[in-house]
Chains A and B, each alone.
Chain A
């Protein structure tokens, strides 16, 4: 099971919006609604930011939003803040022998 494809890095200035893409196949991203996004600060455990493509857990800022089109899911961060600097990973339920697959990860830098 290959990892989902994400850009290695994305950057933006404070207040701007950025979008991170996550490309898979019809056997994972394109085939299921179980796409989620995780934020990981250095030395910390990941934290779920979006689940089931578009849903935000309680306590997560509404500056974070998710979407999906075909085999590609996206995470948009609006009103970028310095605290948003972190690594971001997408994940999808998979119809293959491995239940879940993660993305390659994207480092977000706030300029």
Chain B
């Protein structure tokens, strides 16, 4: 099982960015997926989750309306669209596979290595 994130960058406040995650080694279309972030020197924060068929999408209150999670099962990819970025969004962003084999939400099972987003003027 492998999850590889990319797309992290240094961006100015108010700008947009799109993160992507490409997976291998498991049936992607069977599992829910998450994005979890970790600000420098801080703890983990769950950001967003999407069920196997995209029917259920949830966001943390702190990112509601600015971040958008999506998936393409045919391309085995997960995305996070980030708009109106704030300095508080500066963090390492992890792509995470859920552990529930029915495709819904249970726990964060396998983690990628993360991609870094820095929001600064």
Contacts and interface: CB of A to CB of B under 8 A. Distances in A.
Contacts of A104: 43
A1 B43 contact: no
A100 B110 CA distance: 16
Contact of B99 (A3, A46, A51): A51
Interface residues of B, number: 23
Interface in A92-111: 93, 97-105
A45 B107 contact: no
B60 interface: yes
A89 B108 CA distance: 12
- Contact-size category for A: 20 to 34
A47 interface: yes
Interface string A33-49: 01010101000011110
B43 A45 contact: no
B43 A46 contact: no
Contact of A52 (B106, B108, B114): B106
Sorted from nearest, which 10 A-B pairs have the closest CB atoms? A99-B58, A100-B46, A36-B107, A45-B111, A51-B107, A105-B43, A102-B44, A98-B60, A99-B49, A89-B44
Given A48-B99, A100-B105, 18 more contacts: A1-B60, A34-B105, A38-B108, A45-B94, A45-B112, A46-B108, A48-B109, A51-B99, A57-B109, A91-B107, A97-B58, A97-B64, A98-B59, A99-B46, A99-B49, A102-B44, A102-B45, A103-B43
